[in-house]
Amino acid sequence: MTIIAVDGPAASGKGTIARALARHYALPHLDTGLLYRAVALNLLRWGGDPESEFAALRACDFAQTDFADAELKSEMVGGVASRISAYPAVRAALLERQRDFATQPGGAVLDGRDIGTVIAPDADAKLFITATPEVRARRRLEELLKLGRTSHYEDVLIDIRARDERDASRAAAPLRRAQDAQLLDTSELSVEAAVAQAVAAVESRLHVVDHRPAI
Ligand code: DC
């Protein structure tokens, strides 16, 4: 069983890297941000109050959720997802689903904020993907423009910084690099180069020779 944990802030490239690793190792992949986004979208559609932990917990019922819904990717939903992900009850409600995915026979690749620290602390390989806020804002802006949404660089940058601050400062499972995670800064890298470095980093962990003396 091979578990690969990929964490990092918004628009760092972690999703692209996680998908590429999943393809490379023929493992199933879970974008855990989608779970928090689905809770946020459920809440918005029901008219629930994002300030209420109880309402957010009720929105964790995925019976009606379409994970292919394009609205899940919107900035609005991302912002609410970042808010409701600070609630311990919401994190607890989503924990088992993520752990089950991680520990399925054969293993899996998961990307998010707390995979290496909370969901799969014993993962075989852990990556922490970063890029400067400016680079991430530019990438996010390009994505939004491609989707036909009008956005401005300054607004996206403010949004990215606010999200970083919220994700890193919350008490429950904050965004932070696991001690044994390998850091990969994608600011200056093309997608191909970032993926190649990620594969090399994972390889170096999967083929660690055990030097402990045999007893
Ligand atoms: O990666 P993303 O932008 O789709 O994630 C949306 C929000 O969900 C993010 O701001 C914080 C939250 N999240 C989390 O708290 N833990 C995760 N493992 C994944 C996402």
185-205 pLDDT, tens per residue? 999 999 999 999 999 999 999
* pLDDT of amino acid 89: 97
Q: Is residue 195 part of a domain?
A: yes
Let me know if residue 215 belongs to a domain: no
Total of domains in the chain = 1
Does residue 136 fall inside a structural domain? yes
Residue 214 pLDDT exceeds 80:
no
Residue 4 CA to residue 125 CA, distance in Å, equals 5
Pocket residue to mutate for ligand 1, from 85, 161, 166, most atoms within 8 A of Cβ: 85
- In this structure, is residue 128 part of a structural domain? yes
Closest atom of ligand 1 to CA, residue 85: 15
Q: Determine whether the shortest distance from the Cβ of 81 to ligand 1 is under 6 A.
A: yes
CA atoms 140, 141, 145, 146: torsion sign:
negative
Residue 15's φ and ψ, nearest 5 degrees, are -65, -45
Other C-beta atoms closer than 10 Å to the C-beta of 61 total 12
Question: Does a structural domain hold residue 110?
Answer: yes
Could you tell me if residue 191 is inside a domain? yes
- With respect to residue 35, please indicate whether it lies within any of the assigned structural domains: yes
Q: Closest residue (by CA) to atom 11 of ligand 1?
A: 82
Looking at residue 92, what is its pLDDT? 97
Is residue 32 situated within a structural domain? yes
Q: Which domain holds residue 204?
A: 2-210
Which tens digit of pLDDT belongs to each residue from 73-85? 888 899 899 999 9
Question: What pTM was computed for the model?
Answer: 0.93
Q: What is the CATH number of the domain that holds 156?
A: 3.40.50.300
Burial class for 51, CB neighbours closer than 10 Å (0-12, 13-18, 19+): exposed
Instruction: Give 102 Cα–ligand 1 centroid separation in angstroms.
Output: 17
